[in-house]
Structure 1
Amino acid sequence: MRSLAPWFIITVGGLFVLFMVLSDSRVLDFTRTQSQNVGSVDGEDISYQDYSNTVERLRKQQEQAGQQITEEQMDYFRDQVWDMMVTQKLLDKKIKEYGIIVTDDEVREAIMGPNPPADIRQQFTDSTGYFNRQAFETAMRDPRNKDILITIEERERQRLTQQKLQNILFASVTVSENEAYENFIKQNIKMKAQYIAIDPNTIPDSEIKVSNEDLKKYYDEHADEFKIENQRKIKYVIFNRLPSQGDTLLVKKNLESIAAKLKVDTTSFKTYVQMYSEQPYKKDTVSITTLAPEAREVLSKANKGEIVGPVSTWEGMVIYKLIDKVSSKNEMVRASHILVRSSGNDAEDKKKIDEIYNELMKGANFEAVARAKSQDGSAPQGGDLGWFGKGQMVKPFEDACFSGKIGVIQKPIKTQFGYHIIKVTGRSNQNFVVEKIVNKVTISATTADKIYQDAADFAYIAKENGFESEAKLLKYNVIEAPPFNEEAAAIAGVGINKALVKWAFDNGVGDISDVFRVPSGYVVAMVSEIIKAGVKPFDEVKESIRSNVIRTKKLDKALEIAKKIKSQIGDNGDPQAALSIWPSAKIDTTNEFTTNGSIAKLGREFAFSEVALKADLNKWTNPVKGSNNAYIIKVTYRTKYDPQLFAFQKEGIKKELINNKRNIYLGQWVEQLKKEAKIVDNRYLFFR
């Protein structure tokens, strides 16, 4: 035993090292998962191999069609392929259930009959449109084309099978004569009208009294609005897939090396662009407003012909060659401001802004005061709004900026947003003519792997020691998502991930997930609340109901005002008389409209257009309650129904309607199949 001990130790040690290498490289994970399935549909497995091959085949087809699938788009693309495969499995099951069979003779007739598939027919059709039948049949019988013919036969068999399925499904889908007529009227009968509108928003709130009984009545009458399905809430930690500092540094160092060569090499900049840039060569004239801050800074200081960069921009890391600086017709300014937002109490707002202005006049630092007291999104940047040209800001603000002196703190001005104190910090009419080499900063495999491992480590530890306590210890931000139902494709704040939705409904409160891939990175989640189906309690929705009840009462009040106006003006009276009853009444005319579209200035007011369709010409209608206003309408023009035009268009209208109905029916039918099926999606275990 003593003589064998060294060999035993070496053997065990070697196995241990091998195990560690395999574990570290995740080869064990790989071999374990590859023998499994990515999911199943009603017990029928979808293998990793089949799914991956289908994704790759369809990706190549997209590329051949000129549509590149980027790494950022792959998750969404995989979801599309998965949905397609699930749908096909369900369709195949129904085809078998209905006993649908396509015979060899039917396939042969579809290919070799009088109407061959269009894409094949095209191959044997010359520029004059002549189809060479003899050449087609010769090619179809040529043994060398056997593989191509097999592919064509499989495709036609599948097409005929799905056509038979659709024939069964669409047997009950019809379009009546009346439906065609109504659609014709909606599209072809055009009208113009004069109208008097009473906007409910012009009725003061003080005239509207809302009691608890009113709220309860609305709640009872609109119970369907407050129904909730089974819902879940989750708390989650997100691990964003972003390039690390090392990834950024690697790109920067590479471009620094290229920039150094450019400064001594006589080779043209264009040649370097073609070799190293991820964007094609072009010479751009760019405005200072479109440049990233760092690029703006270095280009402003650079001389013509100088190579500058790399600098960080929203395109990535960029090396610029400054060709020229040219004057622009459009002046740009850079400004900072401090805003006191309009509160409805103008005197109080004016007092606040004056106090801030006096503080600045006594020597207070503008940026510090802006951070502390400005009431808009620029506060964290010390009030800096960046560069902008004319037409980008409201007029009073724009005028103050373009007329102001650089560095001078201006007296407060008022806009629709509130009161502003403005300081112009820059002015330029300069554009830059540049060439550039662009390299995106992308996440490396090492960084992506580390981010995933951090998420996996957190999931493991959280299951052992508690989700929120571990997140707090590791200084991870815990976010709670709004409620979502089982049909949700996405979770607010998280993004699209049906597998995560399903996991939330398959688990209970406090359960912690494994790692899920989402568009922005990785998520580890915990079910935080289970909300059962039912109706939201009255007390919970009471305040949200109040605004609806107020609006309903105001619209009713507007209708009463319209009735008074109608009694005053009769069928043919002067609409200006409406102003003596309600000074805020709006008197206007429409452009030409149909019942099928929106009305200029009014939007989609179906009650308005439906009444206009049947109203007597040149007579004021009785008051109409629309969705936005109460109206009195006088139709001044309406085209007549043309039976000959309807007869000419009828079949086309019917065809369009039946196609729409069939598409809607098929979509609803497939969705119902998915709801009833048992679909298992384990793809998150395979794809990071």
Structure 2
Amino acid sequence: MAVIQKIRDKYAKLAGGVIVIALVGFILMDYGKGGGSRSTTIGKVNGEKIDARDYDVAVKQREDEMKRQNPNATVDENTQAQLRDQVWNEMVSERLLNDISQKLGITVGSAELKDMVSGPNPDPTIKQMFTNQQTGVFNPQEVAAQIQQIKRNPESKKQWDAFEAGLVKSRYTTKFNTMVTGAIYIPKFMLDDQHTSRNTLAKINYVKLPYTLVPDDQAKVSDDDIKKYMEAHKAMFQVREASRAIDFVSFTIQPSAEDSASTFAALDKLKTEFAVATNDTDFVNRNSQSQIPIAYFTKQQLQSIPNVDELMSAPVNSIVGPFYDGNNYMLAKIKDRKSFPDSVKCRHILIATRQLGEGGRFFSDTAAKARIDSVMAMVKAGAKFDSLAATYSDDAGSKNKGGEYDFPLGQKGSLAKEFGDFVFEQGHTGESKIVKTELGYHYIEILHQGAPEASTRIAFVARELATSDNTQNAISAKATQFASQATSGFDKAVKANGYSAIPAGGLNKNSYAVNGLGASRDLVKWAYDAKLGDVSSVYAVGDKYIVAKLTSIMEPGMAPINSQTRPILEGYVKKEKKAEILKQKAKGKTTLEAIAQAENLQVGTADSLSFIRAFVPNMGNEPKVVGYSFCKTFKENTLSPAISGQDGVFFINVLGRSAITDQQPRNLAVERQMLEYGVKNNASSMVLNGLREKAEVEDTRSKIY
């Protein structure tokens, strides 16, 4: 909705609160309904089952964590698909880690768990949860007492036990990672080799025989040629996981010209009524599909609206519109104009009269008023504001920053009205006041107000430009007609209608999303039930109707030769055939000049080649050429054998290899630390990936989800 959505997002009340890491609540799904014998196994790791109920609990936990970290986050189908894959991979890794930990003798005992929770050096999560917000002190004895209190309630005990289980899993991972990284050592010969590679440059003369010298009709490729190439390069073409590929045609569900005219006309009828309305808030609430609070706006805030200049200059009490913005047709009533500071720096202390966060303190109205009066008296008596804020303020967002905030004018509407009115409108730099809001009592001091900026108070009425049933039915009929035509020839029907078919590959059996479409689980399921070349019925995916053709089936093993893979495979073989032809052309020639003259080419020079960079100036990315340039057994000033590169066949002559001068003295300790850092950073994941490749992992989630 363009700027309108941005405006709506900004109008939440200013709220502070102590952020407390809550214990995770678990919601178990009932798989027993309707039979009780239905299998809930969604996979196995070396024969150990993974249960769907445990999986769903973990997914729900991850969703809850995301919402706690970002309350405005939307867990849509795409996000949920990502979470499901993350949880699955973690559950597989957890079982592999448990297995290897048992074999290595890695354990986490009850005494260690106790030390993690209430010892002098607790787990960081525990320390964050139980550190006293007022004093900043972590007291193990108080923690132990609180945990005992938690365990007295059966439900909270269950949650706490699950939380402790998570701590234990984390400690296993930490121990395993420490063991792996602790075993890594870089010997001196590797440091010497890398040092030489980094500090040696080469200069070469070369001739490039580009593959384009050989016409395609001289390097024809048969299926037998491809099979031989694949057999010789098996590792390149091994398919580890089944996948499907489709081509699809989409029909976007969008409003027609008639829908636009209808929405415009409906809003246009409201203009007269809106102009004479005496209660604009009530009028907006009754007639606007997007509830945008009536507020003052600057030109910058509304700059994405096409007719922002008209809004900022129209007479007070006039109606602007209807006009189009994003997905909405809008009416705007100009109510007032004022100038406000473009920014405000202030500080405050809040005494809350309602709970602002889990475990947050709050006071009765009488007690809060008495407390804020005392705070103001202490400020007037010369007490340090930042100390008072840290001690008394219930606003977690500012109490540890001296109570200070910097607000741009655009944020005025998101503040509690009484707070915003004082710092931007009623008060001036240097003034202070006690202000009551729905959160409690604030003692506020205005430290600085910026330059005045013109603002216009506007009431908006918005109507979404929606697709009517008639329009949607017409688009559906169009998709259905195409699906019917496509059953007798998908590609033919695409061409006949002037459509474009979009390819989407890499669909595994658990995919929730299709590239270019987003969440479309039903379409993925169809692809795994269909036969090669089948055409789907019409699927509704988001704001589109989709008709698809199954174009490729990949099963574990060697990749098949089909319409999807053949162009790629043919490219490899054709390049190899052209390389052999070019090598034969140069056969018998003993100098770069002779090879170049035979093809009417020039001998080139490349300077400052480095072994650690595959890129060669004027050549491009040619790692084999770089490798030959630094090969210790390849002597300088001799002709190399033919080198099959990325874009052609190369012949080189190394003119010289030289060490970089003006080097700093070597520091072996630093060199080793830098090299080990890179290796250790990835070592644990590399080991787990290796274990996973060797393990028997069955992923059967697609049978349930």
Q: TM-score scaled to structure 1, two decimals?
A: 0.51
TM-fit CA distance, 1:87: 3.6
**Residue equivalent to 2:122:** 116
Match of 1:605 in 2: 622
**Aligned-residue offset at 1:676:** 1.8
Give the SS at the match of 2:76: helix
Q: Does 1:181 align with 2:203?
A: no
- Aligned positions of 1:566-585 closer than 5 A: 583-585=601-603
1:505 aligns with 2:528: yes
Instruction: Name the CA distance, whole Å, in 1 between partners of 2:178 and 2:659.
Output: 38
AA partner of residue 587 (structure 1): T
Residue 663 of structure 1: aligned partner: 685
The DSSP-based 3-state class of the residue aligned with 1:676 is strand
Which residue does the alignment assign to 2:659?
A: 638
Which deviations, in whole Å up to 9, do the C-alpha atoms of 1:248-307 show, x marking residues without a partner? 678756875898799899999xxx9997399995535999xxx99xx5xx8999996598
Q: Return closer, same or farther for 1:543/1:234 CA change in 2, 3 Å cut-off.
A: closer
Measured after TM superposition, the shift of residue 514 of structure 1 is 8.6
- Work out whether residues 233 and 529 of structure 1, in 8 Å CA contact, stay in contact via their aligned partners in 2: yes
* Cα distance in structure 1, aligned partners of 2:329 and 2:118: 58
**Aligned match of 1:164:** 172
Q: 1:678 and 2:700 equivalent?
A: yes
1:536 and 2:561 equivalent?
Answer: yes
8 A contact 2:267–2:463 mirrored in 1: no
1:164 corresponds to which letter in structure 2? Y
Query: Relative to structure 1, is the Cα distance of residues 564 and 621 closer, same or farther in structure 2, using a 3 angstrom cutoff?
Result: closer
Counterpart residue number, 1:220: 228
| Aligned residues between the structures | 506
Q: Name which of 287, 293, 299 aligns with 1:283.
A: 299
Q: 1:84 to 1:255 in 2, by over 3 A?
A: farther
Q: 1:89 to 1:321 in 2, by over 3 A?
A: same
Instruction: Quote the offset at 1:78 in angstroms.
Output: 1.1
- 1:341-380 maps to which residues of 2 (within 5 A)? none
In 2, Cα distance between the equivalents of 1:438 and 1:458?
A: 37
Q: Which amino acid aligns with 2:679?
A: L
The answer to whether the 8 Å contact 1:599/1:605 transfers is yes
What is aligned with 1:572? none
Pairing 1:654–2:654 present: no
Q: 1:246 to 1:140 in 2, by over 3 A?
A: farther
The amino acid that maps onto 1:200 is: L
Aligned to 1:104: 110
Does 1:565 pair with 2:592? Answer: yes
Equivalent in the alignment of 1:60? 67
Structure 1 residue 650: Cα displacement? 1.4
The superposition leaves residues 28-61 of structure 1 with CA deviations (integer Å, 9 ceiling, x where unpaired) of xxx9999689975137334998588446514413
Q: How big is the shift at 1:185?
A: 1.4
SS at match of 2:605: strand
Q: Which residue number corresponds to residue 595 of structure 1?
A: 612
Aligned partner of residue 218 in structure 2, secondary structure: coil
Whole-angstrom distance in 2 between the partners of 1:499 and 1:552? 46
Residue identity in the other structure for 1:564: T
Q: Take 2:693 and 2:472, find their aligned partners in 1: how far apart are those partners?
A: 38
Inter-CA distance 92–637: structure 2 relative to 1 (3 Å threshold): closer
Q: Do the aligned partners of 1:311 and 1:319 also contact (CA within 8 Å) in 2?
A: yes
Using the TM superposition, give the Cα deviation of residue 194 of structure 1 relative to its aligned residue in structure 2, in angstroms.
Answer: 4.0
Q: Is the 8 A contact 2:120 2:140 kept in 1?
A: no
Q: CA deviation at 1:440?
A: 9.6
| 1:471-550 equivalent positions in 2, closer than 5 A | 486=508, 489=511, 497=520, 500-506=523-529, 508=531, 518=541, 521=544, 523=546, 535-536=560-561, 544=571, 547-549=574-576
Cα pair 2:40 2:52 within 8 Å, conserved:
yes
Quick check: 92-101 or 433-442, which moved more?
A: 433-442
CA contact (8 A) 1:512 1:526 kept: yes
Q: CA RMSD in A?
A: 6.8
Do 1:196 and 1:586's aligned partners in 2 also have CA atoms closer than 8 Å?
Answer: yes
Shift of 1:77: 0.7
Q: Using the TM superposition, give the Cα deviation of residue 516 of structure 1 relative to its aligned residue in structure 2, in angstroms.
A: 6.3
Q: Give the C-alpha shift of residue 116 in structure 1.
A: 1.8
Map 1:136-147; keep pairs closer than 5 Å.
Answer: 136-142=140-146, 146=150
What do residues 296-325 of structure 1 show as CA deviations (whole Å, max 9, x unaligned)? xx8999996598655546676577999xxx
For residues 373-424 of structure 1, give each alpha carbon's deviation from its aligned partner in whole angstroms, at most 9, with x where no partner exists. Answer: xxxxxxxxxxxxxxxxxxxxxxxxxxxxxxxxxxxxxxxxxxxxxxxxxxxx
Residue 109 (structure 1) shift? 1.3
Q: Tell me, yes or no, if the aligned pair for 1:197 and 1:586 is still in contact at 8 Å.
A: yes
Alpha carbons of structure 1 residues 282 and 215: separation in structure 2 relative to 1, 3 Å: farther
2: CA distance, partners of 1:186 / 1:253:
75
**8 A Cα contact 2:66 2:73, kept in partner:** yes
Q: Is the 1:41–1:90 Cα contact (8 Å) retained in structure 2? A: no
Residues 414-472 of structure 1: CA distance to partner in whole angstroms, max 9, x if unpaired? xxxxxxxxxxxxxxxxxxx999989795868x979978x969x979xx9xx99838999
Is the contact made by 2:267 and 2:331 (CA closer than 8 Å) also made in structure 1?
yes
Q: 1:528, 1:660 → 2: CA distance?
A: 37
In 2 relative to 1, CA 503–33 (structure 1 residues): closer, same or farther, beyond 3 Å?
A: farther
Q: Could you tell me whether the CA contact under 8 Å between 2:246 and 2:549 is conserved in 1?
A: yes
Contact conserved, 1:232 with 1:485, CA < 8 A, in 2?
yes
Amino acid at match of 1:78: Q
After superposition, the C-alpha distances for 1:522-569 in whole angstroms (9 at most, x for unaligned) are 65767688677665389976975675246525764797799623799x
How far is 1:190 from its partner? 3.8
Measured in 1, the distance between the counterparts of 2:693 and 2:68 equals 26
1:198 maps to 207
Alignment counterpart, residue 78 of structure 2, candidates 67, 70, 76: 76
Alpha-carbon offset, residue 79 of structure 1: 0.3
Q: Which is richer in helix?
A: 1
Larger deviation, residues 107-116 vs 221-230: 221-230
Contact 1:241–1:520, Cα closer than 8 Å, also in 2: yes
Deviation at 1:158, TM superposition (A): 1.6
Q: Please, which runs of 5 or more residues in structure 1 have no aligned partner?
A: 1-30, 323-432, 569-577, 684-688
Structure-1 separation of matches of 2:655 and 2:270:
73
Give the 3 Å change call, closer, same or farther, for CA 275–228 of structure 1 in structure 2: same
State whether residues 201 and 659 of structure 2, in contact with CA within 8 Å, keep that contact through their aligned partners in structure 1: yes
Q: CA separation of 1:261/1:666 partners in 2, compared to 1, >3 Å: closer, same or farther?
A: farther
Deviation at residue 204 of structure 1 after TM alignment: 3.9
1:140-195: per-residue Cα shift (whole Å, max 9, x none)? Answer: 43469738998677445324325436766997886463599269717971454544
Shift of 1:76: 1.1
Give deviations 1:472-495, integer Å, cap 9, x for gaps: 9xx998969677675695656655
Distance in 1 of aligned mates of 2:220 and 2:131: 77
User: Aligned residues: percent identity?
Assistant: 14
Contact 2:55 / 2:87 at 8 angstroms: preserved in 1? no
Structure 1, residues 648-686: CA drift from partner, whole Å, max 9, x if none? 331442243133132234346558779523223554xxx
Query: Residues 297 and 455 of structure 2 are in contact (CA less than 8 Å); yes or no, is this contact kept in structure 1?
Result: no
Q: Deviations over 1:499-530 (max 9, x none)?
A: 64455334557988798675654657676886
Distance 1:246 1:83, change over 3 A: farther
Taking a change above 3 Å as real, the CA distance of residues 190 and 201 of structure 1, as seen in their structure-2 partners, is same
| Number of the residue aligned with 2:395 | none
The letter of the residue matching 2:85 is D
Kindly indicate whether the alpha-carbon contact (under 8 Å) linking 2:247 and 2:502 is maintained by their aligned counterparts in 1.
Answer: yes
Asked if the contact 1:618/1:636 (under 8 Å) is kept, the reply is no
Q: CA offsets, 1:598-628, max 9 Å, x none?
A: 4565544323443444579996564473434
Residue by residue over 1:69-115, the C-alpha shift from the partner in whole angstroms, topping out at 9 and shown as x without a partner, is 35xx7121110222234345545655776778754322111223343
Distance 1:227 1:153 in 2: 47
Any stretches of 5+ residues in structure 2 without a counterpart?
1-28, 44-49, 335-453
